[in-house]
Amino acid sequence: MTLLDVRTPAAALYERVRKVIPPIEWPAFEADIEAILRLKRERGAIVLAHNYQSPEIFHCVADVVGDSLALAREAAKGDAPVIVMAGVHFMAETAKLLNPSKTVLIPDPEAGCSLAESITPEDVALLRQAYPGAPVVTYVNTSAAVKAASDICCTSANALKVVESLGVPRVVMTPDEFLARNVAAQTKVEIIAWRGRCEVHEQFTAADIRELRESYPGAVVLAHPECPPEVVAEADFAGSTADMIGYVGKNRPARVALVTECSMSDNVSVQYPDIEFVRPCALCPHMKRITLGKIRRALETMRGEVTIDPAVAAPARRAVERMLAL
């Protein structure tokens, strides 16, 4: 039995995601996909989707996919006046920082992040008092206000490079404790870490990785650097979501485990049907607040616009652009 109406453009898109969305689930998505495709044309809008978004968003309505920084940078290249961020709030803020003249919508303003919520600008000021002279390197997974209080931003892909570019013996790294400790293991620069954690990646343990290797012999294990250092130590490779995708494309392991958010494996597996993806699964509840229905409503109503106080935007943009200049 087929549940598809193959006459619709959305139905044609099903071919892309057939492997990761069961036929019985697909009809629930079709009407929203059709509406979003139409609304994007009417509004001159593009949808940016993070690597952790569900496959029906990632593969069926997104115009640009990637990590948060790649999304913001790609959006800045185009001339679409409206950007819908299928990601969490700090990502929408970063997109707005780099696209100040465009309308940036977040389909659910409550889509937060445990890292972004772990630190405030006042905390950064206290760190500066405690460690005078040490520059503050801030992960992009933070609010614009925290970026504005920092010297330079970093991503999980370039954190080591950013730290070493400063040419100082000591830096403060916020807010991700594990990213900071994973960087500290690779550099002589002294790293002062904040105690923020990603609630998804902190769940993984070294024992999980050992069990995974026993259950799936030969699996190549790729871990995100937001995981605890002992997990990274057990992995074959550690890198950002973009680095992991790059590793899979280049090395084509027969069997691979991506130690990160659940949807990433679904999304990447669509591109590499010959590779077996083991799924050590941890869901990000914040990312999963974004649904097709909410993207559709954002485009219908143009509600959920992200704005940033100009007094905050200017220094926050400086911190991001200083990183980009590297």
E strand segments, the chain: 45-50, 64-66, 82-86, 103-105, 136-139, 152-154, 170-174, 190-193, 220-223, 237-238, 255-261, 276-278, 281-282
- Residue 196 phi/psi, 5-degree rounding, is -75, 150
Report how many helices (DSSP H) and strands (DSSP E) the chain contains, helices first.
15, 13
- Residue 287 interacting with ligand SF4 (CB under 6 A): yes
- Residue 286 interacting with ligand SF4 (CB under 6 A): yes
Minimum CB–partner distance for residue 168 and ligand SF4 (Å): 27
Restricted to residues 142-161, the positions that interact with ligand SF4 (CB under 6 A) are none
Minimum CB–partner distance for residue 117 and ligand SF4 (Å): 9
Minimum CB–partner distance for residue 202 and ligand SF4 (Å): 9
Q: With respect to ligand SF4, which residue has the nearer C-beta, 106 or 284?
A: 284
- Residue 284 interacting with ligand SF4 (CB under 6 A): yes
- Window of 161-169, 193-201, 208-216, 311-319 that interacts with ligand SF4 by CB under 6 A: 193-201
Residue whose tokens read 């006046």:
81
- Find residue 260's DSSP bridge partners: 281
Task: Write the interaction track for ligand SF4 spanning residues 252-281; mark x where CB under 6 A is met and - where it is not.
Answer: ---------x--------------------
Minimum CB–partner distance for residue 55 and ligand SF4 (Å): 17
Q: What would the 3-class secondary structure string for 38-80 be?
A: HHHHHHCEEEEEECCCCHHHHCCCCCEEECHHHHHHHHHHCCC
Task: Write the interaction track for ligand SF4 spanning residues 52-91; mark x where CB under 6 A is met and - where it is not.
Answer: x-----------------------------------x---
For CA atoms 305, 310, 315, 317, give the dihedral sign: positive
- Window of 21-29, 72-80, 164-172, 194-202 that interacts with ligand SF4 by CB under 6 A: 194-202
Minimum CB–partner distance for residue 17 and ligand SF4 (Å): 21
What whole-number distance in Å separates Cα of residue 239 and Cα of residue 139? 14
Q: With respect to ligand SF4, which residue has the nearer C-beta, 202 or 234?
A: 202
Interface with ligand SF4: number of residues (CB under 6 A): 13
**Per-residue tokens: 3:** 């549940």
- Residue 224 interacting with ligand SF4 (CB under 6 A): no
Q: With respect to ligand SF4, which residue has the nearer C-beta, 137 or 200?
A: 200
- Each as own residue / partner, the long-range contacts of residues 107-110 (CB below 8 Å, 24 or more positions apart, any chain) are 107/290, 107/291, 107/294, 107/295, 107/297, 107/298, 107/304, 108/289, 108/290, 108/291, 108/294, 108/304, 109/304, 110/289
Under the rule (CB under 6 A), what is the footprint of ligand SF4?
A: 52, 88, 113-115, 141, 198-200, 261, 284, 286-287
